[in-house]
Amino acid sequence: MESPFLLVDLDRSAPPPSARNQVVVGVATQPTRTGGEFDVLLTSAPDAPRPWVSCADTDAAVRHLRDAVGGQPAAALALVQVLRMGAALPPPDRLLVESFAYSALQGGTGHRAWLAAAPARAPRPAHEPVRLGRAGARLTVTLDRPWVRNAFDAATRDALCEAFEVAVADPSIRQIELYGAGPAFCGGGDLAEFGTSCDPAEAHRIRVHRSPAALLQRCAHKVTAHLHGACVGAGIELAAFAGRLLAAPDTVIRLPELAMGLIPGAGGTASLPVRIGRERTAYLALTGTPLTAAAALQWGLVDAIAPPAPEARG
């Protein structure tokens, strides 16, 4: 079987033919025009334009990518395939494709190995995981489990669906502000729930039927998301659908799912490429590299850097 990782030195080689079953990484001293053949593009040039990623040490970045793909080849290949397909699909269908791939990986050996090695975690639920407020035409939606950095669990998912269903159905709501209470906007999926579903097909059905991402897509023009602190996995995947995305200076964004044998499953393969392109999305998801607020602004992942809102610390 061929290696799942293909590196092309664009300073020396012509672009490769289409490689459907490999993660294709291009490296160049200076950014050059490409025809979409690559999943990730790295350059040592500073402040490179999209779709390129600037790296002070491209050799180290290549090693990081090679190790990540080699460690979770099925998830890495599924990720880039979903991102490739997504560019040609309407937004709702991107979520379907992401969920199909995520569910398949839930039953895969990579994820099962991660589950077996992960420490057991006790659930720490909230009576009301999402707090709502209404003032005239303005609806505030606040993730409210600060003791677990607003980890995204099934109850949070359902509560967000209820909130966004109201926002979609009620034309008198013209402004939606999305916050996270406590020291972080959202620390990602609640690890206490990982591995609790024994039926990936049923998990896919639920994920599609109860999808905050799908509802956010429908009211995105009304939504401003306010990021601060950790903004991990589902936190950035959902927030990136917002029509306006503000980040406090302490915001740190990360996509950690590949190390778990998974891909982003809360809409990240649909939301992030719209803002930063599929190549930069693939780089974040393959490497798990943290992105600061300043870097996120430079990439266009957030629209502005702003002080944390008082609601976020409530």
Whether 196 shows a pLDDT value over 90: the answer reads no
Per-residue pLDDT at 194: 85
Taking all residues of the chain, what is their mean pLDDT, rounded to a whole number? 94
Mean pLDDT to the nearest integer, 194-213:
86
228 close to 247: Cβ distance less than 8 angstroms: yes
Residues 123 and 225 in one domain: yes
Residues 64 and 133 in one domain: no
Whether 77 is covered by a domain: the verdict is no
Residue 286 and residue 252: Cα distance in Å, rounded? 17
Residues 177 and 49 in one domain: no
309 close to 179: Cβ distance less than 8 angstroms: yes
Per-residue pLDDT at 17: 65
Mean pLDDT to the nearest integer, 53-58:
96
Residues 134 and 267 in one domain: yes
Whether 286 is covered by a domain: the verdict is yes
Structure tokens at 206: 């639920």
194 close to 118: Cβ distance less than 8 angstroms: yes
* Stretch among 12-16, 102-106, 212-216, 221-225 having the lowest mean pLDDT: 12-16
181 close to 143: Cβ distance less than 8 angstroms: yes
Whether 230 is covered by a domain: the verdict is yes
Amino acid at position 27, single letter: V
Whether 78 is covered by a domain: the verdict is no
Per-residue pLDDT at 313: 57
Residues 267 and 187 in one domain: yes
Mean pLDDT to the nearest integer, 294-303:
98
Exposure string over 9-41, b if 16+ CB within 10 A, otherwise e: ebeeeeeeeebeebbbbbbbeebeebeeebbbb
CATH of residue 297's domain is: 3.90.226.10
Residues 214 and 252 in one domain: yes
Whether 292 is covered by a domain: the verdict is yes
Residues 168 and 44 in one domain: no
Whether 37 is covered by a domain: the verdict is yes
Residues 28 and 168 in one domain: no
How many angstroms from the chain centroid is the CA of residue 103? 16
209 close to 177: Cβ distance less than 8 angstroms: no
Containing structural domain, residue 59: 5-71
Mean pLDDT to the nearest integer, 241-266:
97
Residue 185 and residue 287: Cα distance in Å, rounded? 22
Per-residue pLDDT at 308: 83
What total number of domains does the chain contain? 2
Whether 197 shows a pLDDT value over 80: the answer reads no
Whether 79 is covered by a domain: the verdict is no
Whether 60 is covered by a domain: the verdict is yes
Residues 290 and 241 in one domain: yes
41 has which bridge partners?
26
145 close to 126: Cβ distance less than 8 angstroms: yes
Whether 104 shows a pLDDT value over 60: the answer reads yes
> What value does the CA radius of gyration of the chain take, rounded to a whole number of Å?
19
pLDDT tens figures, 120-162? 888 898 899 999 999 999 999 999 999 999 999 999 999 999 9
Residues 182 and 34 in one domain: no
Residue 126 and residue 225: Cα distance in Å, rounded? 22
Mean pLDDT to the nearest integer, 241-269:
97
* Stretch among 60-64, 86-90, 269-273, 274-278 having the lowest mean pLDDT: 86-90
Residues 136 and 16 in one domain: no
The pTM score is 0.95
Q: What is the 3-state secondary structure (H, E, C) of the chain?
A: CCCCEEEEECCCCCCCCCCCCCEEEEEECCCCCCCCCCCEEEECCCCCCCCCEECCCHHHHHHHHHHHHHHCHHHHHHHHHHHHHHCCCCHHHHHHHHHHHHHHHHCCHHHHHHHHHCCCCCCCCCCCCEEEEEECCEEEEEECCHHHCCCECHHHHHHHHHHHHHHHHCCCCCEEEEEECCCCCECCECHHHCCCCCCHHHHHHHHHHCCHHHHHHHHHHHEEEEECCEEECHHHHHHCCCCEEEECCCCEEECCHHHHCCCCCCCHHHHHHHHHHHHHHHHHHHHCCCEEHHHHHHHCCCCEECCCCHHHHC
Whether 16 shows a pLDDT value over 80: the answer reads no
Residues 168 and 60 in one domain: no
